[in-house]
Amino acid sequence: MKAYHNKRKGIGIIFDEIYLLNGARTPFGKFCGTLANVSPTDLGIFAGRAALEKANIKPEEIDQAIIANIGQSSCDAYFLPRHIGLYCGVPIEVPELMVQRICGSGFETIITAAEQITLGKAETALCVGAENMSLSPTVSYGNRMGYSLGRPSFHDMLWEALDDTAAGYPMGFTAENVAKKYSITRKDSDEFAKLSFDRAVAAWRDNLFRDEVIPLNSSVFEAHGLKPRKANLPRGIKNFAADEHVRPTDMETLAKLPTVFSDTGVLTAGNCSGIVDGGAAAVITTGQTAKRHAAIPLAKIVAGASCGVNPREMGLGPVPAIRLLLEMTGIKLDEVGLIEINEAFSAQVIGCERELNLDRNRLNVNGGAIAYGHPLAATGLRLSLTISHELKRRKLKYGIASACIGGGQGTAILYENIEL
C-alpha cells in the first residue's frame, strides 16, 4: 500500500492485492416507476444478497459492511446501513459503516473497504449503495418550533438537493459553465445523449448485463430471527429485470426539448442523467481469500483518488482525479483501455473528454447515466461492475471509473483485468 496526499492535487492510495470479487445491481426504476415504493434499505438488501451469491461468499465470511445512501427517504433511514447488513445475513457482531461523498459514494464504499482490508481490520467486506429518489420527502424544517399563521414552509428535498448554495446556483448551472468554457453546443450535448441511449439500448439487446443485473420480485427478507421485512413491487410485476429509463431516441426528439437551467443554455431533460431508483453491491476481498474460494475476481483494485475542484465547475472533478491516478501509478492514459465517467450532465462529460483528450470509442462504451439514470449512492458501484465486466469481454487490461461530485469534487478508481 502507498498513500498520497497533496493539498493542491488531492488524496489517493495504491493497493496491494485487493480485489473486487463480484457484485450485482438491481434494475434501475424510472422516477415514480416500478421501484418507487421500495425503500432504499430494501433496494440495498436486494443488491447485497445478490452480490454475496454471485461472489459465492457466505454472509458469515463478511468482516465489515460499508454502505452508502445520500437522500434519506424512509422513516428508518437512520438504521439503513445496519439493517442492510443484518438482512443480508451478515453476522450480528459485524459492524456496518455509512460513507457519503454524494455522487462518488459508491466508489467510496469500495475505497473504504479496500483501506479497511489493507489495515487488517477486515479480510472480506460487503459494499452496498442504495437510493430511492422517488421517495425523497417534502419537509418542513423548523416546524417543531412553529410558524406564522397561514405561513407553513415546505421544501422538496430532491429539488433542494440539486442547489449548491456555495456555488450560488443549482448544479445544472455548473454544467452550463463547463459548456461555455469549452464552447460545447446544444447539438454537441444532444449528440452525446443520443450516443448514450444508443449504446445502452444495444447493451441490453446484446444481453451484456446478464451477469450484472438481477431480477426483482416482491420479497420477504428474514435473518437472525429479526422482524421480517417486506419489499413489495406493484401488483402484477414479476421478474422486474430491465432498466426503465433506457429507451431509443433520436436527434429530432432531443432537439424539441426545452432547456432546463438557462434559456440560452444547452442542457435539457434529455441530455442530463435520469432520476432513478436502485441499488448496487460488490464484495471486496484479498487475493488469499479469492484463491481459497478458487474464484477469479472480476477485477483487481489498483488505486483510488479523490480531488476537489471549483464548485462552479464541479463537473470537471474527474479530470484531476484521473490525472492523479495516472501520476500515482505511472500508467499512461493510452494504456487505459476503457474509461467510465458518470454522465451527470452531457456537457460536463464532454468537458472532461476534451480536457483529457479522451477517445470516445473508449468512453462509456455501453452508455451512461443519461440512459440508465443516476441513483446517487449506487452509481459508483454500477460503474465499477460495468467496467470490470467489459474489460473481461474486450480482453483489455486497465479501466478507470470516475464521477464528478456535487459541491466540487471528483473520485476515480483504476481497475485491472487479471485474466490477461
Which residues make Cβ contacts (< 8 Å) with residue 227, sequence separation at least 6?
A: none
- Which whole-number Å values give the CA distances from 122 to 63, 64, 66, in the listed order? 5, 6, 11
What are the counts of helices (DSSP H) followed by strands (DSSP E) for the chain? 12, 18
Q: Cα–Cα distance between 340 and 362 in angstroms, integer?
A: 8
In 3D space, the residue among 25, 219, 37, 279 whose CA is nearest the CA of residue 136 turns out to be 37
Alpha helices, DSSP H, located in 162-298: 171-181, 186-205, 251-256, 287-292
In 3D space, the residue among 25, 45, 57 whose CA is nearest the CA of residue 125 turns out to be 57
Q: Cα–Cα distance between 371 and 233 in angstroms, integer?
A: 23
Number of neighbours of residue 76 by Cβ within 10 angstroms? 13
Q: Give the three-class secondary structure for 301.
A: strand
Catalytic residue IDs? 103, 404
Cα 41 to the center of its chain, rounded Å: 16
Which residues make Cβ contacts (< 8 Å) with residue 119, sequence separation at least 6?
A: none
Which residues make Cβ contacts (< 8 Å) with residue 202, sequence separation at least 6?
A: 366
Which residues make Cβ contacts (< 8 Å) with residue 339, sequence separation at least 6?
A: 322, 358, 362, 363, 364, 399, 400, 401, 402
- Which whole-number Å values give the CA distances from 287 to 117, 123, 148, in the listed order? 11, 10, 62
Q: Cα–Cα distance between 275 and 278 in angstroms, integer?
A: 10
Which residues make Cβ contacts (< 8 Å) with residue 180, sequence separation at least 6?
A: none
